[in-house]
A and B are shown apart, each in its own frame.
Chain A
Amino acid sequence: MRWIWIDRFVKFERGKSARAVKKLSLAEDYFQQHMPGYPIMPACFILEGLAQTGGILVGEANDFKEKVVLAKITSAKFHREAVAGETLLYDTEIVTLRPEGASIVGKVYTLAPGQSIGEPVNPPMAEAEIFFAHLDKSRSQQLFGDLNFVFSGELKHLLGLAKVAAQRTDGAT
């Protein structure tokens, strides 16, 4: 299994906010153990999805030049469980963006039955405040050189994927 916890970006406003979607398939490995006979998404994976959405938002704001690492989850609330078959919407907004790091607030929604991806209508099923640090430039240069191991591959490609999907939608209308 690859460490990608969002399927696609559906909204992206540079330096401000981003929304990503994640469909929960019963075929995903973790549902077998969590919990047997009662497939609910582990809360830490929900947070990971929110952090990936927010982390890419923060990284893109500096053209992916910074190594953005999750430093702290200041608060997290889970109002209900997410079960296999549901679609999650990760809404994130930048609260602070500075050279040393950034903080975001995020809310997780589920789509109502029959609802297409758009504005959330249900109350959030989870919310969190997440704090990211930009790795110290001089120190990380010594350890990792110029390689940006955070945004070296799949995470960065997600934005390109969103563009392709958007073009297809435009073409269809």
Chain B
Amino acid sequence: MPTQAEIFKKVSATLVEALNVDHEEIQPTSTLQGDLGAESIDFLDIVFRLEREFGIKIPRNELFPESIFQGDPEFVLNGKVTEKGLKELREKMPFADIGKFERNPDMTAISDLFTVDMIAKYIEGKLGSKA
């Protein structure tokens, strides 16, 4: 199994290709949309590339869940993710660092969960479970 550093390097190279950004711009905490300018279609491109790069299968909605809460009022109330919503988030995205988000669970900030580090952690989990 590759080391964490090797995985991060490959994930960075994938993002350089998919998003046409410079290597220097990519930090573990960089958010895909805010910092690296990813658009919705780029997420699918990134998934395709990660599958090829790491030889894994990434089921639809696993790495980048679309509309996690489906407008369910139990999960989102007045623009804030509820306690139940946060629980759902932890279950669906165990590889995401939701610590910061939990302190101010504003729906508009949910895209900040999608970071370079989140992808690397997801891949680590995938490769670990494959062995």
Contact = CB atoms under 8 A, between A and B. Distances in A.
Contacts of A74: 17-18, 20, 45
Contacts of B48: 95-96, 98, 101, 103, 131
Interface string B32-74: 0000000001101100100110000000100000000000000
B41 A71 contact: yes
Contacts of A96: 48, 51-52
Nearest to A72: B41
Interface residues of B, number: 11
Which of the four size classes fits the interface of chain A? 10 to 19
Given A74-B17, A74-B18, A99-B60, A131 B52 contact: no
B52 A100 contact: no
B52 A133 contact: no
Interface string A66-99: 0000011011000000000000000000011011
Interface string B14-34: 000110100000000000000
B37 to A, nearest CB: 13
Describe B's contact surface by its main secondary structure: helix
Contacts of A131: 41, 44-45, 48
A95 B18 CA distance: 14
A133 B41 contact: yes
B52 A95 contact: yes
Contacts of A72: 41-42, 45
A10 B42 CA distance: 32
A100 B45 contact: no
Nearest to B45: A131
A74 B20 CA distance: 8
Interface in A8-54: none
Interface of A: 71-72, 74-75, 95-96, 98-101, 103, 131, 133
8 contacts: A71-B41, A72-B45, A74-B45, A75-B17, A75-B20, A96-B51, A98-B48, A133-B41
Q: A-B pairs with the 9 shortest C-beta distances?
A: A96-B48, A71-B41, A72-B41, A131-B45, A103-B48, A100-B44, A101-B44, A72-B45, A100-B60
Given A98-B48, A103-B45, 18 more contacts: A71-B41, A71-B44, A72-B41, A72-B42, A74-B17, A74-B18, A74-B20, A74-B45, A95-B48, A95-B52, A96-B48, A96-B51, A99-B60, A100-B60, A101-B48, A103-B48, A131-B44, A131-B48
